[in-house]
Amino acid sequence: MRIAIHQSHYLPWLRYWAKVAKSDVFVILDDVQFTKNDWQNRNKIKGPGGEVILTVPVYQKFGQLINEVKIDNTKKWRHKHLYSILSFYKKAPYFEKYFPVFEKIYGQDWERLIDLNQTIFDYIKNFLGIKTKIIMSSSLNVEGKSSERLVNICKKLGGKVYLTGKYASKVYLDKKLFEENGIEVEEHNWVCPEYPQQFKEIGFIPDLSIIDLLFNCGPESLDILLK
Query: What digits encode the pLDDT tens for the residues 41-92?
Result: 999 999 999 999 999 999 988 889 999 999 999 999 999 999 999 999 999 9
pLDDT score of 145: 82
Which ranges of 10-138 does DSSP label H, i.e. alpha helix? 14-21, 77-89, 95-106, 113-128
Q: Where are the beta strands (DSSP E) in the chain?
A: 2-7, 25-29, 42-47, 50-55, 58-59, 70-71, 133-136, 161-165, 184-188
Nearest to 22 by CA among 164, 157, 211: 164
pTM above 0.85, yes or no: yes
Residue ranges of domains in the chain: 2-139+191-225
- Flag whether pLDDT at 205 surpasses 90: yes
Query: What digits encode the pLDDT tens for the residues 97-147?
Result: 999 999 999 999 999 999 999 999 999 999 999 999 999 999 998 988 889
pLDDT score of 95: 98
How far apart CA 215 and CA 42 sit, in angstroms, is 19
How far apart CA 133 and CA 139 sit, in angstroms, is 14
Strand partners of residue 27: 5, 135
pLDDT score of 171: 60
Percent of the chain clearing pLDDT 90 (strictly above):
87
How far apart CA 218 and CA 204 sit, in angstroms, is 18
pLDDT score of 168: 60
